[in-house]
Chains A and B, each alone.
Chain A
Amino acid sequence: MLTYILRRTLMMIPVVLVISVIVFWIIQLPPGDYVSSHVMELQKEGEQLSAAEQDALRERYGLDQPWYAQYLAWIWGILTRGDLGYSFAYSQPVLAVVERYMATTLIVAVASMVFTYVVAIPIGVYSAVKQYSVGDYVFTTVGFLGMATPNFLLAIILMYLSYIWFGNPMLGLQSPEYAAQGWSPARVLDMLRHLVIPVVVIGTASTCELIRVMRGQMLDEMTKQHVLTARAKGVKESTNLRKYSLRAALNPIVSTIGWSLTAIFTGSTITAIVLNLPTQGPVMLDALMAQDMYLAGAWLGFMAILTVIGTLISDILLAWLDPRIRDERRARA
């Protein structure tokens, strides 16, 4: 198993490198570059930049070089100095921008995931065990509504309700008065309260999806022959449910944890804009639109690594959970 993990980790390196090339190439694909989009911005505000000034800017940022030369310089910087490049829009090193948003992004993403699993799995199991009961129908209906409601709409509704009920739409991730303070219990509490709406909004669609998957999985597992075998041995229904059906039904869900994390990462941009969340989604969008290429590249590269690691984690979990897969791996190793 250890050798397997080691081998997979080594294999990640070329994969991530290839992805970074593709990502970089795609980012510079649209016509123009940061300077030209910057000039357009300035023009809107009535300012002009002469052609000479533009060229000077290009030279300073290295934008006059072909894209692969830019890419090589960038990746060389990352590998040798850990330098992710420079964000034109923020006039800061990319690393500083990333650092600022990383923690909140992770908090929102992980909290949404936990919400999804904690809510969806029990409901899915309940719906399967009590198939066609009133509760099952209610959850199914709510589930379809949840999947069909666009996130931004849900966000606006919740903000509105929060405003009506608590006099505060709960924008952002913390109240302004805490922004300058150090961490205190009150600040943590404030943040948790602010997390509710984003987590519900971001988590609802995947929760509803997961309820359906879980219900289907459970129904499938509960009618398996080996469950009947266990019942015929005199095993209690509750034991049967937990030991055989639930355990087996969770397998495919566990195995997708890895990349559902990235999905939540990327899927929440619009929500983050609507709710004014200090997370990476809006920053990323701006960077792409402004062709702030190193910032965009760094983030997309980070996502790629996350996806690859997520897949690895899933694979490890799956092998840990399922002896058949474990043996298959061992045979190939």
Chain B
Amino acid sequence: MTTTPEDTTPPAHLVLTVEDLAVHVPTEHGLLRAVDGVSFEVRAGRTLGIVGESGSGKSLTAKSLLRLHPAAFRESGRVLLHGADGSGADGTDALDIMELRRDGPMIRAVRGRRIALIFQEPMTAFSPLHTIGDQIMEAILLHRTADRAEARDICLEWMLRVGIGDAQRRIDQYPHEFSGGMRQRAMIAMALSCEPEVLIADEPTTALDVTIQAQVLELMQELQAETGMAIVFITHDLAVVAGTCDEVAVMYLGRIVEQAPVRELFANPQHPYTRGLLRSIPRFGMGRDERLQAIEGTVPQAIDLPAMCSFRDRCGARIEGVCETAEPRLLELTDRHQVRCFLHDPDAPVPDQPVGSTESTASDPAHAPVVPEESPA
């Protein structure tokens, strides 16, 4: 096992603890378990990456942290926001966000002020009828000062800090006068202007082209170094994770299937799904936007899932007679590396019949599920 530099430094204080978070969405087809039993920790100055294919529940998790879901969604679990100085890190005087009323003043004091959110689509995240400055200043006026002139100064300062040149002029412009990259910068300025303890960035660069993407990522890292905020970085792109995150949680169908420090995860992936994702990272010289089909098959809907491994149908390492009998639990391989897979479970159910030809999955994880070929009649 590799030893990474961050393993030796004392852990930074806890800012946010998510325990057993679930978001269940009632739909016409049944209850969608879009997020189920998700737990993670976020530390000051560190970045947690949440990775997973489209539909794995990343955005719903992010919105849950700010109680942004409609009342019809069924949420459970705890989201503990610790004191800014780490005083509440033992959980005693931490604020449980899930306990707050979703339209009350308590949660509004957290939103934007202590936890800020950057959304997936910079193109639609701003109201087209209000100026960029108006929308950035709205947060500042709510949380930092009631003085408009001062708010404007703070806004200008942040616009410059995120690299929007000519801020004096641009502050009074409308979103349609901003390019996608500039809008995402404005979004970052808006999120950071109240100096939150946690920044949740939900695919902040997906809609941008490669060079802008790199600039925005770099900017976020610089600002993190300056302010010491924690970042939850959501993406479907493991390649981006490698350069930005300290910890990675891999999500599949509403559950975390593997979680580890970033180097550990890249050097020693344990879940078949993580391995599949790693294989799909584009190599040099490959266009980044030609999205690779990561893993064979499509993500099923998390409705009426039987109690078995949800990755089973797509898994090349599946153990017949085991993986469909129960749901694998999250196992601790080390105290910082967890995986949800029977391959690593010493207490896994015993297969009904002896499986003679199970492949060595660790050496050759590339195999797709064996599909019996139809013989022509």
A: residues with CB less than 8 A from B are 224-237, 243-244, 247-248, 251, 321-324, 327
Contact = CB atoms under 8 A, between A and B. Distances in A.
Nearest to A247: B129
Interface of B: 63, 66, 68, 103, 108-113, 116-117, 119, 121, 124-131, 135, 138-139, 142-143, 174, 176-177, 187, 190
B142 A226 contact: no
Nearest to B139: A233
Contacts of B125: 225-226, 229
B111 A233 contact: yes
A243 B108 CA distance: 17
B127 A230 contact: yes
Among B121, B129, B176: residue with most chain A CB under 10 A: B129
Given A233-B139, A235-B138, A322-B129, A224 B124 contact: yes
B229 to A, nearest CB: 16
Smallest CB-CB A-B distances: 9 pairs: A233-B112, A234-B111, A234-B112, A225-B124, A323-B174, A233-B139, A226-B127, A234-B108, A232-B117
Contact of A232 (B109, B112, B128, B176): B112
B142 A235 contact: yes
A323 B127 contact: no
A253 to B, nearest CB: 14
Contacts of A232: 66, 68, 111-112, 116-117, 119
A276 B110 CA distance: 63
B119 A225 contact: yes
B190 A233 contact: yes
B161 to A, nearest CB: 18
A244 B127 contact: yes
B143 to A, nearest CB: 6
Given A232-B68, A235-B142, A247-B129, A323 B112 contact: no
A323 B116 contact: no
Contacts of B176: 323-324, 327
A294 to B, nearest CB: 47
B286 to A, nearest CB: 31
- Chain B CB count within 10 A is highest, among A225, A234, A248, A327, for A234
B129 A230 contact: no
6 contacts: A229-B135, A229-B187, A231-B68, A231-B111, A232-B111, A327-B176
